[in-house]
Amino acid sequence: MRKDVRILLVGEPKVGKTSLIMSLVSEEFPDVVPYRAEEITIPADVTPERVPTHIVDYSEAEQTDEQLFQEISKANVICIVYSVNNQKSIEKVTSHWIPLITENTDKDSRVPLILVGNKSDLVEHSSMETILPIMNQYSEIETCVECSAKNLKNISELFYYAQKAVLHPTGPLYCPEKKD
């Protein structure tokens, strides 16, 4: 049985990482947030899977690359957050974030990724059409979810998916290409 789960949120500035964490904790949308939320620990008995869960924020404004790399290597699951109304933040998922994570994680330990499309309150159309090809391209991506820190939509689900990705990964048990 696992001791605990460490969830890291990364993504471009202003996509709403800190707001997502604060919305989860306070169950309301904070109008003003710091660049980076304090690390929070959710006790086992209030998490769906009964495992203590740490949620770790990242902010380029307050952290060095070195600190980011260190957090990436400590994480059990990484949520890559983009904003559904910001195409650039979606492009950066594949051009920047996934390669950076791959470089800073142990090749043998598969760290599940979750794609998080925040600010769903601002658009009528889902970003899934753009996201599905990315999902198909990278087996590390466990799932994707669209949410809104503002409407509190899919917030608890997002953290539940992250926890579940660590405790019950659905990844392949073996890599067919690697069989002899």
Residues that bind ligand GTP (CB under 6 A): 13-19, 33, 35, 59-61, 118-119, 121-122, 148-150
Would you say the C-alpha torsion 96, 57, 71, 112 has a positive or negative sign? negative
Q: How many CA atoms lie within 13 A of 129 on its CB side?
A: 3
Least CB distance from residue 75 to ligand GTP, whole Å? 17
* Contact predicate 110/102, CB 8 Å: no
Q: Residues 31-60 vs Mg ion: string with x where CB under 5 A?
A: ----x-----------------------x-
Closest to ligand GTP by CB, 79 vs 177, is: 79
Identify the three-state secondary structure at position 139: coil
Smallest Cα–Cα separation from 63: which of 54, 55, 72?
Answer: 72
Least CB distance from residue 144 to Mg ion, whole Å? 21
Of 5, 6, 7, 18, which lies in the binding site for Mg ion, with binding defined by CB under 5 A?
A: 18
Choosing among ligand GTP, Mg ion, none, which partner's interface includes residue 163 (Cβ < 5 to 8 Å by kind)?
none
Least CB distance from residue 118 to ligand GTP, whole Å? 5
Question: What is the Cα–Cα distance from 14 to 82, expressed in whole angstroms?
Answer: 9
Largest CA distance in the chain: 56
Q: Residues 58-77 vs Mg ion: string with x where CB under 5 A?
A: -x------------------
